[in-house]
Amino acid sequence: SGRRGAGRREPPSRSPAGSMGSAAPPVLLVLVLLVALGRPLLGAPGRGAGTWSRFARLPYPQDQLFLHDTFPDGFLWGAGSAAYQTEGGWRQGGKGASVWDTFAHRPAAPPGSAPPGPAGGDVASDSYNNLFRDVEGLRRLGVSHYRFSLAWARLLPNGTAPLNPAGLAHYRRLLGRLRELGVEPVVTLYHWDLPQGLQDAFGGWASPVLPQLFRDYAELCFQHFGGQVRYWLTMDNPYVVAWHGYGTGRLPPGVRGGPRLGYRAAHHLLQAHAKVWHLYNDHFRPTQKGKVSIALSSHWIKPQRMTEKNIKECQKSLDFVLGWFAKPIFIDGDYPESMRSNLSSLLPEFSEVEKNYIKGTADFFALSFGATLSFQLLDSHMKFQQLESISLRQLLYWISSEYNNPQIFIVENSWFVSGSTKRDDAKYIYYLKKFIMETLKAIRYDGVNVFGYTVWSLLDGFEWHRGYNIRRGLFYVDFQSHDKKLMPKSSVLFYQKLIEKNGFPPLPENQPIEGIFPCGFAWGIVDNYIQVDTTPAQFLDSNVYVWDVHQTKKLIKVDGVFTSKRKRQCVDFAAIRLQISLLQEMHVTHFHFSLKWSLILPLGNLSLINHTLVHYYQCFASELLRVNVTPVVALWQPMADNQELPVSLAKYGAWENPETVQAFVEYAKFCFTSLGDHVKFWITMNEPSVKNLTYTAGHNLLKAHAKAWHLYDKEFRRYQKGKISIALQADWVEPACPFSRNDQEVADRILEFDIGWLAEPIFGNGDYPQVMRAWLHRRNSVDLYNFHLPYFSEDEKMLIQGSFDFFALSHYTTTLVGWEKEDALKYDHYLEVQMINDITWLHSPNRAAVVPWGLRKLLKWVKSKYGDVPIYVMANGIDDDQNMVHDKLRVYYIQNYINEALKAYTLDNVNLQGYFVYSFNDKTAPKYGLYSYVANQFEPKPSMKHYRGIIDNNGFPGPETPELLCPEEIASCSECHFFRTRKSLLAFISFIFVAFIVTIFFITYYSKRVERRYK
């Protein structure tokens, strides 16, 4: 028998010892709080240091919720590419060699020397020969702008005159086609591909000659293309060019000049940029009316701990990477003070004239953020022992605070997927979604002035130092094919729809609804295993004690002196009294817990019974009934220790052994007999873990459940009048790419393996899902292993089919799945499924995703699969880390999951009859409780009080909600069953009693007559 695969998310740990959300975020509240915390209206060097403390104070979890809103009117949406990454055609049309051509063509390195560069961009995506193909991709996306770079060596093969006519014609054709489509060009003059001739002749950017040569090249571009270009970028990411091109030598031209040469190259890059800006400003702006800036790249960094020292180190890290270029341009023409004080003579000096010349040479802040620099090309020592992060929103706020609230144009942003990923690039989509969402929050919540966004890139290409090992394009390119056709990935559809809607507008399904649940709705709480303490109360002690007030200050037993004993009562168990009082405080109507089979019948049969424990359970159930709380009792729940089976059964195969089936039936009969007077709501098996279940074990488990159900139905239901079913763990599974048929097939398959495996035989046709059988047949035909799914006989099918009174499920989270293998650690080879994470979702400390709408989808799925069956959500909850801040997440979780359950009941007509929160307290389920347990004391968390409020309102009533008049519940009489089940005895006793009364009457009557006669 095979076991279920790896890489799956476990349900919450249940030790006995221990999206976007469905509701729209309270935007007005968040906005008010954010305004109170201050917006970056005026910036100054060093003011960005307040970013970390500001974001640490934002309201949780409201600030982290998905924001359903749109971008400002006129917001620019675009895509980008770089010449060397996509053009190819390195020897076509008179193009000269660039430093990247030379770097990529290096011969294999001899032992001990630097390794050669990755396979280069000789052909890449072949955009040089497929200009109209690329532009068609832009048309399909519906973008407003396209960022691309000019290949300096294609226009000026040697870096200086003469001009190459073929190169000029190529870019004119591209600009003309963009104009026809109404797509705004955003043109980068220099994107790392310096002509090799300039490197050979002058030493590249290490030479002070280069700024003037770059100015000459820019002037040529402004003259020939300026009439069609409104947005110019002088260069891209000068940090990478200077530091890794001339300092470390990791990238072309591969000069290992150390820090001194790296800082000198940066000095010249800044001078070159300033020259080009002034050239445009003085000679071309009056007629062309365009704007010029420089694309600066940055990481984001967060302190290891929120201390003043660590925050200063984070500020220094940003100064050394982004501020290195941004402060001279946007503030005062000079390097950050932290660089000056730390680098002393390594950092070149600007004269006062140069400072004034460089200061203010940008018409907007062009920001590049993402995979090129973050976690890849950032030197580790520039992190200053702090933690790198990918928070675009915080970086935008920092820039706004630090540099006088500039207009920001995001000219490059995205993440990457594996080079083997073809069409369904779910990981890429969710990173894109995160970055765009953070941009929207920066605009709406933080007042940052962002006016455009550019996804990187339009199509797959050569990814610099990563070669072809990763992909960043919206369109897939098969690099081995001759024609290099563009094939749209799922991210194309995502970005296309986002552009159409200009963001994430609110949708009806994202909004909470008002309404209430029906009369008799079960509001419950779960405790896997109740606290068992059979220590008797002090009032049952018949001994007499005296207080030693002089010496020991303790009670001393008086030998030989006793008081009269009284009969033991259930209320004498202090542990029961405490738990009952907490449940009363919560106002729940139902309490769900599991019995311990291994303790009730330690040997697995009736030869040894733990009567003390059984009596405790009887008392607990009767005390629940006394306070009008319905006990919901599971006969068995798997736990880590022997699966909570008696040792004798666990030792001999557990559920693999057919004898366990009969042992379970005998155990169930004993429980029905012993506890059935008090328990009317039974669960045979609670959350059997399909992940750890073999097919043979699952087969026997289903038969055991069915036999226990029929036993109750035939022998106990008539007079106990209870109901019984099985409770399945049922997390929702969503296709990672909503537009992908393959991903949808994977999601459907996982639902059948996770839920349908045990549900279909009981609630469906009496047999396993056909999807399972077909998949296992396919796997067995190609694998060395034989995953055998057993067959039921016709009698067994009849036995199992319909063995339920309701559908009980436990639901905690939602998982995204796809078919394209992206991350080996999260890939299930057995089911061929890739687990994906939507990083815009809220997550608990244990990384459980908070996805309220997943519950509604699950409930609709159950109804569509198994009809109008009564459904109980038997467990729904999330962890915290003993921190009250994270209990706020639980408040949000409970509120929104219940609201989605209300939508399922109200809008989808799901026959939902109850909802239970997991879990009761932290003592029995650490981190999941509505009550904390500290210093032997239970304290209600805010989430408990919030849940109690929902229970008291029976949902979420609004002004328009009609009043629901429910009949008063009559307290159950746990002792009444004795009389109901002994009617013959009662009739006989009644006859004797009446006869006795009549006899006494006649005796009295005739006695009086005799007395009167004698008188």
pLDDT tens digits, one per residue of 678-706 = 999 999 999 999 988 999 999 999 999 99
Strand extents, DSSP E, 529-595: 543-547, 555-562, 590-594
Environment class of 111 (CB within 10 Å of its CB; exposed 0-12, middle 13-18, buried 19+): exposed
Tens-digit pLDDT profile for residues 168-202: 999 999 999 999 999 999 999 999 999 999 999 99
Q: For residue 424, give Cα distances in angstroms to 19, 417, 468, 733.
A: 20, 10, 18, 17
DSSP code for 477: E
Phi, psi of 492 (to 5 degrees): -60, -45
Low-confidence ranges of the chain (pLDDT < 70): 1-43, 108-118, 536-542, 564-568, 571, 783-786, 968-986, 1009-1015
Q: Of 450, 426, 454, 420, give the one whose Cα is nearest residue 82.
A: 454
pTM of this prediction? Answer: 0.89
The answer to whether 323 and 300 are in contact (CB under 8 A) is no
Give Cα 160 to chain centroid, integer Å: 53
List residues bridging with 724 in a β-sheet. 682
Alpha-carbon span 357 to 851, nearest angstrom: 53
Alpha-carbon span 53 to 411, nearest angstrom: 28
The answer to whether 912 and 898 are in contact (CB under 8 A) is no
Q: Of 338, 319, 340, give the one whose Cα is nearest residue 330.
A: 319
Sign of CA dihedral 804, 810, 816, 821: negative
* pLDDT score at 372: 77
Q: Cβ of 524: how many Cβ atoms within 10 Å?
A: 27
* pLDDT score at 11: 45
* pLDDT score at 43: 57
* pLDDT score at 531: 82
Question: Both tokens of residue 139?
Answer: 């048309």
Q: What is the DSSP string of 697-709?
A: HHHHHHHHHHHHH
Alpha-carbon span 879 to 101, nearest angstrom: 53
Environment class of 135 (CB within 10 Å of its CB; exposed 0-12, middle 13-18, buried 19+): buried
Q: Is 370 helix (H, G, I), strand (E, B) or coil?
A: strand
Alpha-carbon span 967 to 990, nearest angstrom: 33
List residues bridging with 503 in a β-sheet. 70
According to DSSP H, which parts of 850-956 are helical? Answer: 852-866, 884-906, 942-953
Strand extents, DSSP E, 613-677: 630-636
Strand-strand pairing, 630-636 and 681-686: parallel
Tokens 């008063």 sit at which residue?
968
Q: Which residues, 6+ apart, have CB-to-CB distance to 977 below 8 Å?
A: 677, 719, 720
- DSSP 3-state helix, strand, coil percentages of the chain (rounded to 5)? 45, 15, 40
* pLDDT score at 963: 84
The answer to whether 411 and 454 are in contact (CB under 8 A) is yes
* pLDDT score at 475: 98
Environment class of 671 (CB within 10 Å of its CB; exposed 0-12, middle 13-18, buried 19+): buried
The answer to whether 615 and 567 are in contact (CB under 8 A) is no
Alpha-carbon span 710 to 704, nearest angstrom: 10
Alpha-carbon span 165 to 224, nearest angstrom: 11
Alpha-carbon span 750 to 782, nearest angstrom: 20
Tokens 């009317």 sit at which residue?
680
List residues bridging with 787 in a β-sheet. none
Answer whether the bond into residue 61 is a cis peptide, omega within 30°.
Answer: yes
Strand-strand pairing, 408-414 and 912-918: unpaired
Q: What angle, rounded to 10 degrees, do the helices at 210-225 and 165-181 form?
A: 50
Helical (H) or strand (E) element with 1001: helix 983-1014
* pLDDT score at 110: 52
Torsion of CA 974, 976, 980, 983, to 10 degrees: 140
Question: Both tokens of residue 214?
Answer: 């770059």
* pLDDT score at 773: 94
* pLDDT score at 20: 36
Alpha-carbon span 465 to 376, nearest angstrom: 9
Q: Is 410 helix (H, G, I), strand (E, B) or coil?
A: strand
Question: Both tokens of residue 671?
Answer: 């429980």
* pLDDT score at 119: 72
Torsion of CA 921, 841, 837, 366, to 10 degrees: -150
Alpha-carbon span 599 to 855, nearest angstrom: 35
Alpha-carbon span 917 to 743, nearest angstrom: 31
The answer to whether 333 and 273 are in contact (CB under 8 A) is no
Q: For residue 288, give Cα distances in angstroms to 56, 227, 284, 291.
A: 45, 6, 6, 9
Alpha-carbon span 3 to 696, nearest angstrom: 10
The answer to whether 833 and 33 are in contact (CB under 8 A) is no
